Amino acid sequence: MTTDLPTAPKISVIGAGAWGTSLARHLANKGFPVRLWAFEPEVVEAIQRKHENTVFLPGVPLPASLMVTGSMEEAVDRLDLLIFAVPSHAARSVLRQLGTLLPYAVPIISATKGIEEDTFKLISQVMQDVLPSYLHRTILVLSGPSFATEVCQDQPTAVVLAGQETSRVRSLQGLFMTPHFRVYAGSDMTGVQLGGALKNVMALAAGAVDGLKLGHNARAALITRGLTEMIRLGVACGADPKTFYGLSGVGDLVLTCTGPLSRNHTVGVRLGRGERLADILKDSHAVAEGVRTSKATAGLAHRCKVDMPIVQAVCAVLFEDKSPRLAVSELMERAAKEEAEG
């Protein structure tokens, strides 16, 4: 099976949140024919009428060449490349629709940063569950420190694309590259996905630290120990620990735990200030993936017998009404141990 793409590949982006829309815009601006599928009729209408995703990416003009549709059949008709950017909680149901509409092998890039809540599976594993077997080796994953708004402002951004076949990764790597958007190649799909998912959980914790006004020392310690937990779980799941020192690991972790554009960090800040999770989530159209991912991560850690005290503390705050200040105190008062232990 060839890994070569046509000179002007027909690209479909499934999922019109901020990240999916920014990727569609990026590729359309490079001159590729791009179709963007949106679940929400109001998003389709806004892009068709105003050339702007007023719901998830307001204030960002979209090229007139970018086609948007609410029809899955229309979105994937005769495509050469599919980019999947659907929130993790909806991934399986949308993939079931896609599976019946892709009669031939095409590259599929997962740009979703999350873990399925009920099964604790990565999105590539959900794809393998649902999609026909001839598509399994065509699956790749894209992750890294990449706020959608900054990508749309042509701010310098670097991400990593990982897949099973080096030739396919190399081909698609060049497809995305611009002077402002750099793509590195990788092969550790498990590590890249875990890095992109787990950093959202740590961003909730870092936000809570900031909401409590506990200072820069505390946030730095939280990020560092959070990375340790990410590596611990990654190794248990078969990932290369070196992946977590790259863009999809420490790169995305630092960005999401410190950047004011991070939805997960913002949710954490509001939790630290004493707001209730239900009230916070009511205020936002956008998905804070870390909320669902925290529960999935705790389940995966339990299955793998991996100790993740920060993740457990986040879950206690989110789902057991534990005070964020008490959760931080309990983390600080744990028994003394070696830094490299466990």
Provide the CATH number for the domain around residue 228.
Answer: 1.10.1040.10
Considering the domain boundaries, does residue 156 fall inside one?
A: yes
Q: Domain boundary residue among 187, 215, 242?
A: 187
CA–CA distance, 155 with 228 (Å, rounded to integer): 29
Q: Can you give the CATH number for the domain in which 20 is found?
A: 3.40.50.720
Residue 339 confidence (pLDDT): 87
Residue 2 confidence (pLDDT): 46
Is the domain of 294 the same as that of 209? yes
Q: Is 10 a catalytic residue?
A: no
Number of domains in the chain: 2
Per residue in 228-244, pLDDT (tens digit) is 999 999 999 999 999 99
Neighbouring-strand partners of residue 83: 13, 109
CA–CA distance, 71 with 52 (Å, rounded to integer): 19
Among 220-224, 286-290, 292-296, 306-310, the minimum mean pLDDT is found in: 286-290
Is the domain of 327 the same as that of 180? no
Residue 1 confidence (pLDDT): 40
Considering the domain boundaries, does residue 341 fall inside one?
A: no
Is the domain of 288 the same as that of 215? yes
Place 141 in a pLDDT band, splitting at 50, 70 and 90: very high
Taking residues 86-101, what's their average pLDDT? Answer: 96
Considering the domain boundaries, does residue 340 fall inside one?
A: no
Q: What does the DSSP 8-state code read for residue 157?
A: E
Considering the domain boundaries, does residue 337 fall inside one?
A: no
Considering the domain boundaries, does residue 4 fall inside one?
A: no
Q: Which pair of tokens denotes residue 252?
A: 């995305």
Q: Are 225 and 250 in contact (CB under 8 A)?
A: no
Q: Domain boundary residue among 187, 218, 250?
A: 187
Res 318 pLDDT > 50: yes
Nearest CA to 201 out of 163, 132, 252 is that of: 252
Rounded to the nearest integer, the mean pLDDT of the chain is 95
Q: Are 335 and 313 in contact (CB under 8 A)?
A: no
Q: Are 195 and 243 in contact (CB under 8 A)?
A: yes
Percent of the chain with pLDDT over 70: 98
Taking residues 36-54, what's their average pLDDT? Answer: 98
Higher pLDDT, 342 or 308: 308
Considering the domain boundaries, does residue 238 fall inside one?
A: yes
pTM for the whole structure: 0.95
CA–CA distance, 330 with 324 (Å, rounded to integer): 10
Is the domain of 37 the same as that of 182? yes
The whole domain housing 201 covers 195-332
Is the domain of 83 the same as that of 150? yes
Catalytic residue among 199, 282, 322, 337: 199
CA–CA distance, 244 with 145 (Å, rounded to integer): 12
Neighbouring-strand partners of residue 161: 142, 185
Is the domain of 171 the same as that of 203? no
Higher pLDDT, 8 or 108: 108
* Amino acid symbol at 294: S
Is the domain of 251 the same as that of 128? no
Q: Which pair of tokens denotes residue 317?
A: 């705050």
Beta strands in the chain (DSSP E): 11-14, 34-37, 67-69, 81-84, 108-110, 139-143, 157-163, 181-186
Neighbouring-strand partners of residue 109: 83, 140
Considering the domain boundaries, does residue 2 fall inside one?
A: no
Q: Domain boundary residue among 169, 187, 205?
A: 187
Is the domain of 20 the same as that of 138? yes
Classify strands 139-143 and 108-110 as parallel, antiparallel or unpaired.
parallel
Taking residues 57-86, what's their average pLDDT? Answer: 97
Is the domain of 161 the same as that of 199? no
Per residue in 178-197, pLDDT (tens digit) is 999 999 999 999 999 999 99
Q: Are 26 and 175 in contact (CB under 8 A)?
A: no
Q: What is the side-by-side strand order in the sheet with 157-163?
A: 67-69, 34-37, 11-14, 81-84, 108-110, 139-143, 157-163, 181-186
Is the domain of 146 the same as that of 254? no
Residue 112 confidence (pLDDT): 97
Beta-carbon neighbour count of residue 219 at 10 Å? 18
Is the domain of 41 the same as that of 108? yes
Considering the domain boundaries, does residue 338 fall inside one?
A: no
Percent of the chain with pLDDT over 90: 92
Per residue in 19-43, pLDDT (tens digit) is 999 999 999 999 999 999 999 999 9
Is the domain of 175 the same as that of 300? no
